[in-house]
Structure 1
Amino acid sequence: MSEIRKHYFLREYCIIAEERAKRPSDFAGAAEDSQKNNSEHCVFCGRNEEKTPPATAVYKNGEIFADTGKNRIRSWDFRCFPNLYPALTPASPFQESCEKDPEVIPGFGFHEVIVESPAHGKKLEDFSDTEISGLMKVYRDRVCHYAENEKISYVSLFKNSGKAAGASQNHPHSQLIALPVCPQVMERELAAIRDSHKCPYCVLIEKEKNSPRLIIENSGFIAFAPYYSTVPFEVWILPKKHLSFLGDLSPELLFALGEILRAVLRTYKKVHENLPYNHMFYQLFETPEYHLNLRLLPRLSTAAGFEFNTGIYINSVSPEKAASYLKGDK
């Protein structure tokens, strides 16, 4: 029998309808094959630095540099540069409103690519401890860099892995878009949080760490399949300590974050060797009430008319079954 499940603290719903599903292991045939690992013409690979805009931040041997003029820094660990086809640009004049239409704001902002490795086929689940904690430091640094801009209200940090997840380049990379407005989804969450006597995320951590939906935890974080799961094998990662955004994380917590993210991605290989997914950070700077969280959404199902019409997603794998499968219980 299907179930209509409510979000932990929002008036949002999903439908868990397992009778529509195959066994979890059968998703291996449904996931897409990975894009071909052909680095011959890849502009993100090491030694092809001239094929991208100059880097705004280059991480090399623990230090941070920036490209100057036509000179490009080589032998880097991580490389950040403006997206060649940006959604928003700092060239757009920033203003609160336009004279012709007060509801229009010029497309001011920043759109940055974070190349996670100079090696074309390197995946996060195969990163060493140094590499994965280093990437978390890059994430923190770049978010903080744009959060310091007084014209920026929100920094979206995300990764599209696989063509089905929206990746146009198959070289491993993440993206960052800094916006002059706060997204409605964050404002809606914040309003609900402020109406609560205790942080709802702190409450759900206590609930989920003893539930069948728990997947893994370490010294600083917990990973679980949320009770309100909109897609098969959705995973949320939360810091056990109440923290609002990546800038609050110590080096020890950055390591723990990278460690648990890598562990979850390794469990995804049980579903498919090249599972397409998005991972997205939800965070608010200068807003201590909010609780930082990272969500992973595998792209095994397609939103269609019902989902767009209602905002209610049908999930054919219960989070309880998903967690059990990812842990290796079944």
Structure 2
Amino acid sequence: MRTKTVGGKRRSLINPNSPFTLSALETDEEEDPNPIYRKSTVWNEWVIFKQDKTKKASDFKGKSTYNTNPSRNKPCVYCIGHEDECSEEIFRVPFDEPNWKIRVVESPNPAVLRSLDDGFVLDGGEVLDGFGIHDVVIESPVHSEQLLDLTPKDVGEVFIAFSNRIRELVHLESIKYVQVFKNHGEKAGAAMSHSHSQILGLPIVPNNVSARLGNMKDFFYQTGKCCICDIQLEDLLIDSSTYFFSLVPFAASFPFEIWVVPRYHSAHFHELDDEMALDLGGLMRTTLRKMSFQLNNPPYNFMIHTSPLRGDGSELAYSHWFIQIIPQLIPTTGFELGTGSHINPVLPEDAAKILREVIVPVFAHERRMVGFLPPTKIVDYSDAFTTKEVFPTREYLLNWARAIGREHGFTVIIQRSDNGGLKKRIGRKTTVILGCERSGKYRQYKDALARKTGTKKCGCPFRLRGRPVRNGDGWKVNVVCGFHNHEVIETAIGSTYAGRLSGEEKSLVDDLTRSNYKPKDILQTLKERNEENLTSIKQIYNLRQQLKRSRLELEMENSA
């Protein structure tokens, strides 16, 4: 709005009586926008939108879940290689293959019990026996991989696993509704940090489901349309694909709430076919990545809202399944709990615009994976590192582990080391955690531009733990995870870690460089002195440049 200063006050240059004046136009740039009410057709609930005065919509961030991983230093029953420690398996993908990609197992801590009588009434219809089916879908064999890290095909296969399991539960007459959901992050209710989803088959239709279907039915009888098919996408659309689109709902109960909706009318999620699942996998992966990058990888929940299994057929006309994603950005207060209505500080149009404009960086290692086939099999190196030997010192243990790694085509590095603290505080133990050089992930600073650089990091789960023996005389090593999620190399020559030079070797390179030795002659001298040296000619060139820069900086300091 154009304004000018008159008598020390800012006045609008727009005539308030003009027919071209917008009623919603603010007359004071610093005036807070008025709160508004919006009613959700699907939930039949009012939502209050009151924008936060202290921060913009783009300032909302979640508490990152990157470090909420309590199982990184101890075995996880969901990881590959620990199937015998996990609860009973229902099926896996691929079927009956040791190198699985997805496993569906019985929940180790079920909310309902499949062993009870199905739906036995205990008290006049108001109390039922706790019968039900509670399953866990393990989305990846690798502990460090999250759903958004998988390929679109792999994400699609997770949804196919959901659909196949629901089709199996359809044959149980006592199961009336199946809820598929995912809790990501401790704040969102995840008890295990290994990426997984859950399936809960119930002998009842929950009240929220009945209410949702009733609201959809009322809209259909009033308008003759499905309320989901009738969604107006203008300003609310985030992204779209062949069979699906993602949007922020018009009356979103939570900031940056997202719905992923089938373009074509469908009442039951388990009618999803393979082609649609692959398309859904790509859109879900993009949506989760956008949300993670914009909101600092927040804890979130997603739920698949579908129709009951035992309908009379009339719901096929008005019921439309969809996926709801809720990032945990603000707490639920007494007002929400008391009224069932929510206060949302972010307008849906603003949230949709922000998410729509997010450009998820594609790093070099992901670009290289286009057309790249994953390892044909996941190799277990546990036996190579399993030993009862007691090493005299920590350095002996490190040298032994690195030598075994070189024999098998990968480099062992120190991931974390703890000497127990000066005062040996309770809970801290002297330990050293060893891993593969390709462990971890490349993390981009949120406000920085994506650099077109390569990275070897791919979240390799391989892990060893070294600790002093109880009497303090020597060190022992245990295998935490013996698997790699990548192909091992045929030779370690040129590896950043394996080819590192010691301080003495760096001094020798410096002396030989000053004596005008050629790089190839320097490399040959190093290998003659140490037959196990794995340095490459490229590393010699890089070191020579570093030494040259250091000498120039020293000369400049002395001259100053």
Q: What's the TM-score, normalizing by structure 2?
A: 0.54
Take 1:132 and 1:329, find their aligned partners in 2: how far apart are those partners? 21
Match of 1:262 in 2: 285
Match of 1:69 in 2: none
Q: Which has the larger radius of gyration?
A: 2
Gaps of 5+ in 1: 66-72
> Relative to structure 2, which stretch is displaced further, 269-278 or 301-310?
269-278
Deviations 1:142-181 (A, max 9, x none): 1221122111000000000011110011100000100000
Q: How does 1:1-330 map to 2 (within 5 A)?
A: 1-20=34-53, 22-28=55-61, 30-34=62-66, 35-36=68-69, 38=72, 40-60=74-94, 64-65=95-96, 74-95=98-119, 97-98=121-122, 100-195=123-218, 196=220, 197-204=224-231, 207-208=232-233, 211-284=234-307, 285=309, 286=311, 287-289=315-317, 290-328=319-357
* Letter of the structure 1 residue corresponding to residue 330 of structure 2: S
> Relative to structure 2, which stretch is displaced further, 303-312 or 263-272?
263-272
| 1:95–1:40 CA distance, 2 compared to 1 (3 A) | closer
Take 2:43 and 2:160, find their aligned partners in 1: how far apart are those partners? 31
CA RMSD of aligned residues (A): 1.8
SS of residue matched to 2:38: strand
* Letter of the structure 1 residue corresponding to residue 288 of structure 2: L
Offset of residue 74 of structure 1: 2.8
Contact 2:119 2:130 in 1 (8 A): no
Take 2:120 and 2:93, find their aligned partners in 1: how far apart are those partners? 35
Take 2:358 and 2:156, find their aligned partners in 1: how far apart are those partners? 29
| 1:272–1:198 CA distance, 2 compared to 1 (3 A) | closer
Offset of residue 4 of structure 1: 1.2
Take 2:351 and 2:305, find their aligned partners in 1: how far apart are those partners? 22
Offset of residue 21 of structure 1: 5.5
Contact 2:255 2:329 in 1 (8 A): yes
| 1:9–1:177 CA distance, 2 compared to 1 (3 A) | closer
Gaps of 5+ in 2: 1-33, 360-560
Deviations 1:34-58 (A, max 9, x none): 3137163211111111111120111
Deviations 1:246-294 (A, max 9, x none): 2212211111111111111011123234211001000014542310100
Deviations 1:221-240 (A, max 9, x none): 11100011111110011101
Offset of residue 10 of structure 1: 4.4
Determine which structure has greater relative contact order: mean sequence separation of CA pairs < 8 Å that are 6+ residues apart, divided by chain length. Answer: 1
| 1:20–1:55 CA distance, 2 compared to 1 (3 A) | farther
* Letter of the structure 2 residue corresponding to residue 296 of structure 1: I
Take 2:238 and 2:270, find their aligned partners in 1: how far apart are those partners? 26
Match of 2:535 in 1: none
Q: What's the TM-score, normalizing by structure 1?
A: 0.90
Take 1:59 and 1:83, find their aligned partners in 2: how far apart are those partners? 18
Aligned residues: 314
Match of 2:5 in 1: none
| 1:39–1:219 CA distance, 2 compared to 1 (3 A) | farther
* Letter of the structure 2 residue corresponding to residue 147 of structure 1: V
Contact 1:90 1:109 in 2 (8 A): yes
Take 2:129 and 2:210, find their aligned partners in 1: how far apart are those partners? 21
SS of residue matched to 2:343: strand
Take 2:352 and 2:216, find their aligned partners in 1: how far apart are those partners? 27
